[in-house]
Chains A and B, each alone.
Chain A
Amino acid sequence: MPSFATLLRKDTQPVRYLVVDDSVFARKNIIKMVQMFGGEIAGEAGDGLTAIAEYNRTKPDIVLMDITMPQMEGIEAVERIVRQHPDARIVMVSSVGYQENILAALQKGAKHFVQKPVKPEVLYEILRYVLGDEPALAGAPVALAEEQHS
């Protein structure tokens, strides 16, 4: 595994993550990566409904959200979280990465998208971008959304 410089909040505290995925393996894998980046796990959820409750309870800095989940899918959960918390920073993490899905998530308020299997270096750069440390790192999904809105 490559090593990464610690990602911190502007107040130099560790970044707190809410990890949402119905697969225990996927959650463990993501948790392993964000801990490698110096992050803390604020909470975990296995579906969209629990994610909303966990968001309200833990107020994380970043949410890493799967799309296809039971009870409530990730895109609907994004819409509901962002409606209540317009500053929420949510990154979609899914194996299904076609354009309609990415656009739908971005239009509901997600900040970025990363496709599974997740490469640590890709997730790291996306988190840097979403945390506002690296404005030059806007990826294809953001460009795609801007294109749609123009």
Chain B
Amino acid sequence: MRMDLIQPFINAADAVFAEALQGPTKIGDFSMEEEAYHRKGVAALIVIKGDIEGRIILDLAPDVALKVAAMLTGAEVVDSEQTVRETVCELANMVIGNSVTLLNDQGYRFKVFPPEIHINDQGLAGSRDTEAMVLGIETTCGNIFLNIAMHHLSRRRRERDAVPSVS
């Protein structure tokens, strides 16, 4: 796990939440997980492929999403699954867009796939490549969780090549 690849996502999330939600944020404890990810609320999964590869999950409880929606629009919002989905998507797009900017300006080239929203009770599958860093960020609207698994493509290739073949 490369912190230099993960840090831009954490920095971007912290800055976006502070600005968009107009209040202080606090980054909580980090942990490493290799198991399938179990959602805490509604999750947006974004996949990245290119010089660096991996995925980011942004996850928040529906009641937090509604508070975020009200903050983003400056008005009361309708309590609906659609509102929650759109809110999680918009937050994910802002965090990823800002992270991508930082990584792109460092010379990395990659494709970002549109957010995929997970709202049912399925876990998000893990694999050998998805050792992930999990952290929560406290915001004025409640906790927002990030799960980030990111690797250099060249490192992953070397790891695969190093696995002894079975004859």
Residue ranges of A at the interface with B (Cβ–Cβ < 8 Å): 23-26, 28-29, 32, 68, 94-100, 115-117, 119
> 8 extra interchain contacts, Cβ-Cβ under 8 A, other than A25-B69, A25-B73, A95-B93?
A25-B72, A28-B75, A29-B73, A95-B94, A95-B95, A97-B101, A99-B104, A115-B97
Query: A94: nearest residue on chain B (CB-CB)?
Result: B97
B residues 99-122 in Cβ contact with A at 8 Å: 100-101, 104-105
- Mostly, the B contact residues are helix
**Which residues of A lie under 8 Å from residue B101 when comparing CB positions?**
95-98, 115
**Which residues of A lie under 8 Å from residue B94 when comparing CB positions?**
95, 116-117
Number of interface residues of B (CB under 8 A): 22
**Which residues of B lie under 8 Å from residue A117 when comparing CB positions?**
16, 19-20, 94
Query: Which stretch of B36-44, B53-61, B82-90 is in the interface?
Result: B82-90
Q: A28-B75, A32-B73, A117-B16 are in contact. Are A23 and B86 (CB under 8 A)?
A: yes
CA distance A94 to B75 in the complex (A): 22
Of A26, A32, A115, A117, most buried by chain B (CB within 10 Å of CB) is A117
How distant is B46 from chain A, measured CB to nearest CB, in Å? Answer: 12
Query: B109: nearest residue on chain A (CB-CB)?
Result: A100
**Which residues of B lie under 8 Å from residue A94 when comparing CB positions?**
97
* Pair A97/B74 contact, Cβ less than 8 Å: no
